[in-house]
Amino acid sequence: MSLSEKYPKEVKRLLSKYPPEYKRSAVMPLLYLAQREEGYVTKAAMKDIAGLLEITETEVASIVGFYTLYHDEKAGKYRMQVCADLPCALRGADQFLESLCGNLGIKVGETTADGLVTIESVMCLAACDKAPMFQMQGPDGIEYHENMTVDRTMELIEALKKSGEAK
């Protein structure tokens, strides 16, 4: 089912915000809409968005690939995106990431066996002086965690596990 069929009112509302000659500007809100349910943008949704906006699928995919808030693959319930650019690395982000993955028994880019957390390495979350830091994307939005340690992060993950069991 296409995005227009699945969310006809939302697609119409989003497109109405832009003059017809600038409708390509609706790409980001449409991507957000496409990602809302599954947590990632499918190839079919990218194709659909490209068709709606009269741009290429490559242009849509390049936006998904550039921004850390769009995803083209299924992942855990929570995406923990650790900033690993040079300033953060100088404050220990690389060691933090390696140790965190070791504690979880996964590699960067992988998801924990319970499907709860996917660990990703990203560039520049604009908190260089507060590294190691990460943004946690989940069902309730995005949270930023700064000046983190592996122990505090593991406590956070344990709390997420417990809150999931309580629901």
- Whether this model's pTM surpasses 0.85: no
3-state SS of 45-111 is: HHHHHHHHHCCCHHHHHHHHHHCCCCCCCCCCCEEEEEECCHHHHHCCHHHHHHHHHHHHCCCCCCE
Model pLDDT for residues 70-120, shown as the tens digit of each residue: 999 999 999 999 999 999 999 999 999 999 999 999 999 999 999 999 999
CATH of domain 3-66: 1.10.10.1590
Predicted local confidence at residue 153, as pLDDT: 97
Check whether 167 has a pLDDT greater than 60: no
Which class in CATH covers the domain with range 78-166? alpha beta
Domain boundaries, the chain: 3-66, 78-166
Predicted local confidence at residue 45, as pLDDT: 95
Write phi, then psi, for 34 (nearest 5 degrees). -65, -30
Predicted local confidence at residue 60, as pLDDT: 97
Predicted local confidence at residue 166, as pLDDT: 47
Q: Report, as an integer, the average pLDDT of 21-29.
A: 96
Q: Report, as an integer, the average pLDDT of 36-64.
A: 94
Check whether 65 has a pLDDT greater than 50: yes
